[in-house]
């Protein structure tokens, strides 16, 4: 990769604050956007700005075509069997909630989640426990925070309806053995939902090869617009599921007493959609494919190894997750004994324009279970450089002396 050329395509990386460049190490929260994605979003408002599928005029036809092309592109991106298996959502959270509300659960159904789930893949299932009498069980991690396959297989013996699990953790960047998990879950008669919010921007996903039942991810973590996301579902399952939200564009006809719902994906996409976002998401996927996952992973490994070498020897630093940087993708999450993680993040921001995340990263349950107040999470992407890592290390070592 010609990283310097690539960085020119991201407007925010050209900005200066207090005379210094912005060093963005918070991609696990939200990635930066290249100009091509910004242009695609603006193109909708400048050149069409109409509704999809509702009107017969030229502008509406252009929007309909653009959104349909986006659905096709994303279906190819995931290797889905058909474009109708792709549902447009606002984010990963909505996709998971859609499954929680639309898949038919009954009292006593068991749902398995891991011990490191984002709140978006924990709270919907807690709601099912409270409202429908489902049973939620937690798959423990090994001491180094890696996935405990043996414990998982033992839990599968208890009449599990659904395994809902983050394929890559936003806490420590670890990717679970997805293929093995899906295979073993299916052998036990369970369905599998993967929260791929942290996987889709960094690794190739083949839903057909994985044979996964549902998969959700967000556009904003993979250079796409905020408020966009995808839920993939096997078509046979989507056909059987009830609508999540109902309203315009979900039905072919209504009377005062009833309505005739359209087939998937329309019955799950109620109301006017974020057409600019849908078109922008296609541009993001195409940009991601142009960069290539091999190049992305190579750069992330390089940066993670450099950060690991530079921070692991600092007194009082504790890394969350396995020590091998190759296992942590684009995330280095750590805490310093006796120091507030927010204080570290604020000092990095104020002193050197280094933007990192601090706190509990929407994984409160894990931090509470481990009696930790929070961590500093450095997360990076292919547009970050070794020079930026060195700047982070230099400033953190100075901050560590003060703290």
For residue 237, give the nearest of 256, 257, 259, 264 by alpha carbon: 264
Encode 351-360: b = buried (16+ Cβ within 10 Å), e = exposed: ebbbbbbbbb
Q: 338 and 368 share a domain?
A: yes
In a domain, 387, yes or no: yes
What's the rounded Cα separation, in Å, for the pair 133 and 388? 50
**Whether 339 and 219 share a structural domain:** no
Residues 300 and 371 in one domain: yes
Give yes or no: residues 262 and 353 share one domain.
no
List pLDDT tens digits, range 123-171: 999 999 999 999 999 999 999 999 999 999 999 987 899 999 999 999 9
Domain boundary among 234, 259, 290: 290
pLDDT number for residue 351: 94
CB 23 within 8 A of CB 355: yes
Q: Give the residue among 221, 396, 401 at the shortest CA–CA distance from 306.
A: 396
Same domain, 110 and 237: yes
* Residues 370, 373, 378: CA angle, nearest 5 degrees: 100
- Catalytic annotation, pick one of 29, 51, 67, 362: 362
362 is catalytic: yes
Number of residues assigned to the chain: 403
State the DSSP H helix or E strand holding residue 103, giving kind and residue range, or none if neither: none
| Domain membership of residue 123 as a residue range | 38-290
What integer pLDDT is reported at residue 231 of this predicted model? 98
Domain with residue 382: its CATH number is 3.90.1150.10
What does the alpha-carbon distance between residue 139 and residue 149 come to, in Å, rounded to a whole number? 9
Q: Are residues 195 and 61 in the same domain?
A: yes
276 in a domain, yes or no?
yes
pLDDT attached to residue 55: 84
Tokens representing 248 are: 């315009």
Establish how many alpha carbons lie within 13 A of residue 312's alpha carbon, considering only the half-sphere containing its beta carbon.
14
* 58 shares a domain with 15: no
Strands 331-336 and 375-379: antiparallel
Q: What is the DSSP letter of 334?
A: E
- CA 375, 377, 378 angle in degrees (round to 5)? 150
Burial class of residue 16 (count of CB atoms within 10 Å of its CB; 0-12, 13-18, 19+): exposed
Q: Specify the pairing of strand 23-24 against strand 251-254.
A: unpaired
**Residue ranges in the chain whose pLDDT is less than 50:** none
pLDDT at site 56: 87
Domain of 164, CATH number, reads 3.40.640.10
φ/ψ of 115, rounded to 5, equals -75, -5
pLDDT for 144: 92
Quick one: 316 and 358 in the same domain?
yes
For residue 72, give the H/E element and its range.
Answer: helix 58-78
336: Cα within 13 Å, side-chain hemisphere: 21
> What's the pLDDT score for residue 289?
97
Rounded to an integer, what distance in angstroms lies between the CA atom of residue 210 and that of residue 334? 32
**Is 246 a domain residue?**
yes
Residue 321 belongs to some domain of the structure: yes
Sign of CA dihedral 82, 285, 201, 376: negative
296 and 268 within one domain? no
Q: Domain check: are 253 and 344 in the same one?
A: no
> Where a domain ends, among 239, 258, 290?
290
| Residues 103 and 130 grouped into a single domain | yes
- Domain membership of residue 31 (yes or no) is no
Report pLDDT digits (tens) over 262-299: 999 999 999 999 999 999 999 999 999 999 999 999 99
Distances (CA, A) of 22 to 213, 218, 355: 40, 24, 8
Q: Is the residue at 320 inside a domain?
A: yes
Write down the pLDDT at residue 53: 82
Q: Which of 290, 318, 335 is the last residue of a domain?
A: 290
Token duo for residue 194:
């993967």
Cα separation, 105 vs 291, in Å, equals 41
In a domain, 80, yes or no: yes
pLDDT at position 130, please?
Answer: 96
221 with 324, same domain? no
Average pLDDT over the chain, rounded to whole?
Answer: 96
CB-CB contact of 260 with 253 (8 Å) = yes
What's the structural domain count of the chain?
A: 2
């Amino acid at each position: 990769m010609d990283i310097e050329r690539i960085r020119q395509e991201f407007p925010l990386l050209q900005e200066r604050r207090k005379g210094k460049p912005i060093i963005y190490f918070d991609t696990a929260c939200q990635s930066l956007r290249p100009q091509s994605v910004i242009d695609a979003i603006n193109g909708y408002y400048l050149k069409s700005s109409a509704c999809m599928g509702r009107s017969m005029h030229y502008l509406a036809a252009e929007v309909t075509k653009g959104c349909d092309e986006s659905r096709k592109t994303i279906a190819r991106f995931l290797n889905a069997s058909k474009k109708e298996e792709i549902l447009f959502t606002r984010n990963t959270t909505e996709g998971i909630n859609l499954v929680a509300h639309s898949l038919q659960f009954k009292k006593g159904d068991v749902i398995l989640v891991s011990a490191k789930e984002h709140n978006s893949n924990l709270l919907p299932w807690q709601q099912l426990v409270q409202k429908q009498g489902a049973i939620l069980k937690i798959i423990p991690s090994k001491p180094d925070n890696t996935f405990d396959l043996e414990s998982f297989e033992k839990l599968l013996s208890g009449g599990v309806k659904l395994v809902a699990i983050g394929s890559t953790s936003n806490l420590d960047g670890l990717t679970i053995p997805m293929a093995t998990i899906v295979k073993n879950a299916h052998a036990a008669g369970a369905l599998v939902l993967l929260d791929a919010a942290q996987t889709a921007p960094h690794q190739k996903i083949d839903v057909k090869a994985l044979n996964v039942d549902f998969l959700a991810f967000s556009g904003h973590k993979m250079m796409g617009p905020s408020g966009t996301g995808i839920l993939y579902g096997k078509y046979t399952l989507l056909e059987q599921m009830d609508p999540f939200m109902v309203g315009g564009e979900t039905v072919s006809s209504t009377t005062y007493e009833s309505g005739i719902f359209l087939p998937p994906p329309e019955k799950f996409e109620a109301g006017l959609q974020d057409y600019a976002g849908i078109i922008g998401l296609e541009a993001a996927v195409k940009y991601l494919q142009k960069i290539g996952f091999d190049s992305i992973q190579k750069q992330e490994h390089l940066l993670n190894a450099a950060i690991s070498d530079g921070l692991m020897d600092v007194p009082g630093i504790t890394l969350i997750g396995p020590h091998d940087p190759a296992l942590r993708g684009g995330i280095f999450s750590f805490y310093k004994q006796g120091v507030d993680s927010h204080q570290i993040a604020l000092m990095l921001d104020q002193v050197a324009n280094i933007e990192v995340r601090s706190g509990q990263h929407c994984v409160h349950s894990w931090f509470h279970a481990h009696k930790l107040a929070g961590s500093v999470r450095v997360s990076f992407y292919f547009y970050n450089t070794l020079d930026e890592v060195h700047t982070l290390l230099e400033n953190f070592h100075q901050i560590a002396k003060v703290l």
